[in-house]
């Protein structure tokens, strides 16, 4: 079992065009030639092309923050898989907690997008995670199991090499409160067991499971040192090149 760490930055709805390209250039300078860790950044969709130019020739891949499941047509405001690929995206984040809880996306809706993204050759980062009240009510495993089972419905084991799961407890996102390494490891191990049940041991062993939620340079090494934590999906700290680079170095 040797999984390559995967660290991705989710810039969310932040940066201007100039800030996005400056950030990408600073990242290329700091970590652009790292190859021990897989790297990606997911800027706002309108800046994907400019960021793609800034990343050209580096080892930092590009990802979208969302995608729709139709090829084209009357879907105002949506983006297709072909559009993301056209501007250089390799990855797409789906099921982020802000899309689930602020925008109202359901597991079934997310599943359609997962299915489409995989069919069209994008690598999917599927986010899952419980709300604070669900954790307090002892429902963490139940919530995460349901999100994964429905989110991956119809996805074959042979496609799982193209799926990263990001476990992001909602109470830890953007709050400065990080799940303890033990708390995160426990859920990651549970997810890996679930993948073994849904698929088989080799899929479970090979699947990258990122942790997300207030990851920063100061806590990254301990989180990434857990046996079932294979990387990080980073929000706030991904907006500062030095912090994101610090997290990447913590994993090297
Ligand atoms: P955060 O966000 O690092 O700011 O907590 C993580 C995420 O939402 O992916």
Task: Specify the ligand 1 atom closest to the Cα of 214.
Answer: 5
- Cα 239 from chain centroid (whole Å): 15
Nearest Cα neighbor of 42 from 94, 86, 80, 3 is: 94
Tell which one of 10, 169, 231, 239 to mutate to probe ligand 1, the residue whose CB is within 8 A of the most ligand atoms.
Answer: 10
* Ligand 1 pocket, residues with Cβ under 6 angstroms: 10, 168, 173-174, 212-215, 233-237
Q: How far is the CA of 152 from the centre of ligand 1 (A)?
A: 22
Tell which one of 212, 214, 218, 220 to mutate to probe ligand 1, the residue whose CB is within 8 A of the most ligand atoms.
Answer: 212
Catalytic residue among 96, 105, 130, 188: 96
pLDDT at 30: 98
Q: pTM of the entire structure?
A: 0.98
Query: Is a pLDDT exceeding 90 seen at residue 206?
Result: yes
pLDDT at 178: 87
Query: Is a pLDDT exceeding 90 seen at residue 105?
Result: yes
The DSSP 8-state label assigned to residue 26 in this structure reads H
188 assigned to active site: no
Query: Is a pLDDT exceeding 70 seen at residue 7?
Result: yes
pLDDT at 58: 98
Catalytic residue among 98, 130, 168, 188: 168
Of 176 and 7, the structure prediction assigns the larger pLDDT to 7
Residue for token pair 């934590």? 229
pLDDT digits (tens, 9 = 90+) for 19-39: 999 999 999 999 999 999 999
pLDDT digits (tens, 9 = 90+) for 143-193: 999 999 999 999 999 999 999 999 999 999 988 888 899 999 999 999 999
Mean of pLDDT values over 69-77: 98
Query: Is a pLDDT exceeding 90 seen at residue 2?
Result: no
Task: Specify the ligand 1 atom closest to the Cα of 175.
Answer: 5
Nearest Cα neighbor of 181 from 249, 136, 228, 234 is: 228
Task: Specify the ligand 1 atom closest to the Cα of 127.
Answer: 9
168 assigned to active site: yes
Distances (CA, A) of 217 to 63, 124, 185, 187: 22, 25, 18, 22
> What does the mean pLDDT of the chain come to?
97
Query: Is a pLDDT exceeding 90 seen at residue 225?
Result: yes
Task: Specify the ligand 1 atom closest to the Cα of 93.
Answer: 9
Tell which one of 40, 127, 167, 174 to mutate to probe ligand 1, the residue whose CB is within 8 A of the most ligand atoms.
Answer: 174
Distance CA 78, CA 180 (A): 36
**Confidence bin at 1 (pLDDT 50/70/90):** low
């Amino acid at each position: 079992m040797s999984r390559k760490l995967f660290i991705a930055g989710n810039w969310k709805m932040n940066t201007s065009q100039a800030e996005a390209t400056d950030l990408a250039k600073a990242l290329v300078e700091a970590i652009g030639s790292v190859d021990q860790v897989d790297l990606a950044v997911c800027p706002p969709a309108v800046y994907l092309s400019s960021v793609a130019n800034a990343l050209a020739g580096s080892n930092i891949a590009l990802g979208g923050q969302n995608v729709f499941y139709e090829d084209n047509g009357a879907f105002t405001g949506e983006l297709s898989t072909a559009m993301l690929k056209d501007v250089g995206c390799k990855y797409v984040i789906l099921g982020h907690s802000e899309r689930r809880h602020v925008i109202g996306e359901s597991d079934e809706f997310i599943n359609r997008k997962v299915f489409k993204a995989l069919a069209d050759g994008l690598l999917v980062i599927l986010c899952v995670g419980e709300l604070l009240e669900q954790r307090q009510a002892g429902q963490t495993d139940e919530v995460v199991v349901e999100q994964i089972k429905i989110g991956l419905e119809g996805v074959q084991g042979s496609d799982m090499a193209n799926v990263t799961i990001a476990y992001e407890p909602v109470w830890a996102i953007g709050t400065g409160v990080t799940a303890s390494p033990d708390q995160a490891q426990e859920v990651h191990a549970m997810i890996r067991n679930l993948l073994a049940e849904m698929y088989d041991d080799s899929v479970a062993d090979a699947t990258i499971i990122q942790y997300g939620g207030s990851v920063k340079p100061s806590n990254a090494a301990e989180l990434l040192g857990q046996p079932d934590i294979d990387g990080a999906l980073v929000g706030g700290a991904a907006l500062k090149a030095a912090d994101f680079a610090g997290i990447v170095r913590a994993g090297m």
